[in-house]
Structure 1
Amino acid sequence: MIRIAVCDDDRNDRENVCGFLREYLKDRGLEAEVRSFDHPDTLITECEEYRPHIYILDIVMPMVTGIEAARELRWNQPEAQIIFATSESSYALESFDVNPINYIMKPVDKDKLFATLDLAMSRVKEEDEASLTVKIKGGYKTLRTREIMYVDYRNHVVSYHLSKGEEVQTPTLRIGFSEYIDDNLSQDDFVRCHESVAVNIAAIDKLTKTSITLRNKEEVPVSKSRYAEVAERYLDYRL
């Protein structure tokens, strides 16, 4: 399901945009989860896990501007669609730093918002729908790619470590880790960071020469021989 976040410290403006969103979704026959926020700090913190496909942001807000919030969000979600809705035209040039799809002046015009949402929807990659099916003891289990933090290999068993702490294991394998990865993991989504560990690139929060901190705060090792490849793939994804 598509996820949308609205952030505006002005209650009336926030409710107005959310009302337009409900009307838009009904008109287009779409389903989406919509969350609203009254402060950019809350938005940034909660969206580390919520990870919206589309953001609609005010710019002039307390402590952190919408553009500053967008920079933070863009670092963690380079594929997200960002729409600015603001009463200040003076930030238009600066906003290009975060590659928004539109800059709408308040009061928000419904038709302009609907047209912008049509464009955002056409660009959304539904990462929630990306999945893989894993053979487990007694059958098979389908996992959403975005929930997989990393995969490791021990005693001829591959374990999938998920965002909420769950662990899904394969039966004992007759093949090595390299062959298993080649056959079962998307090379676009995962990178091998250690002889026995592969991480979901989208789950990386911090990378050093010896370790990776993941979105769920777990850490996994990075071997010296694989650091350069991991760094290149990570920066390609982020930037």
Structure 2
Amino acid sequence: MLKIAYCDDMKKDRDSIMISLGQIEDKWGEEFEITSFSSGESLCDSIAKNHYDIILLDILMNGINGIETATRIRAMGEESLIIFISSYDERVKELFKLGTIGFLDKPLQTGQLEEALLHASSILKKDESVYFTFNKNGSTQHISIKDIIYFENYKNEVILHTLKEDMRFYDSMKSVWEKLQSSDRFIMPHRAFIFNLGYVSIWIDKVTLKTTGVTYNIGNKYSGDTQIRHMKFLEKRCR
């Protein structure tokens, strides 16, 4: 299920987006999880605790505009795919395309929105095609790395926290990290934890888990690698 947020300070435009999304749901035979926001501030407040796959974001808004909202979203470490919606001319559009996956005109056309969502979905599906493999009770398990929130060391076990459930298996954090360090989605800021960058915010020497709000210290030994991985992750998602 796609988690979509859309932000526009004009009610008539929010209503138009909702109608278009409903038509696309019917056409695709899918159900989206849709959340509406009337300001950039309220969207950013929500992102501090929630993750959205796709954000439809108006540029011209009262309060903080769409550009500042997108900047704050990226500064929080959020990897959501952003699609701008506005009525700027073509030259300005080209500038904004550098940091987003799409730019839609107002008044919004359902066909254009569907095309942008198809593009976003294809990007998300590439992430879902990569799996973490581990052994549990003699059976090989496969978990999409996109669904992994973090790994936690507990005595001689590893606790795998996912969007749906927590699982325990016998292994070492060193072994888990050897499997994940080639991926650009993960950091190991402490010997006892490995986090998916899609579910955390990083500020100097702290990592905050969005799903719980709990903050963890970044160990001095792991600080450099953690910051480099975080920056590369954000740069790649903003292309």
- Higher RCO, Cα 8 Å, sep 6+: 2
Bigger shift: residues 51-60 or 137-146: 137-146
1:1-239 to structure 2, matched below 5 A, reads 1-75=1-75, 76-78=77-79, 80-89=80-89, 92-93=92-93, 96=96, 99-125=99-125, 132=132, 145-146=145-146, 148-161=148-161, 168-170=167-169, 176-182=172-178, 185=180, 187-188=182-183, 189-209=185-205, 211-215=206-210, 216-239=212-235
**Aligned residue identity for 2:78:** Q
Distance 1:25 1:148 in 2: 26
**Aligned residue identity for 1:100:** T
Secondary structure of the equivalent of 1:30? coil
**Aligned residue identity for 2:188:** R
Quote how far apart the aligned CAs of 1:137 are: 7.7
Quote how far apart the aligned CAs of 1:133 are: 6.6
Percent identity between the two aligned chains: 23
Structure-1-length-normalised TM-score? 0.76
Bigger shift: residues 66-75 or 14-23: 66-75
Quote how far apart the aligned CAs of 1:149 are: 4.1
Quote how far apart the aligned CAs of 1:14 are: 0.9
Q: How many residues align?
A: 232
CA shift in 2, pair 1:17/1:135, >3 Å: same
Distance 2:122 2:173 in 1: 37
CA shift in 2, pair 1:162/1:88, >3 Å: same
Q: CA RMSD in A?
A: 3.5
CA shift in 2, pair 1:235/1:170, >3 Å: same
Secondary structure of the equivalent of 2:112? helix
Unaligned 5+ runs, structure 2: none
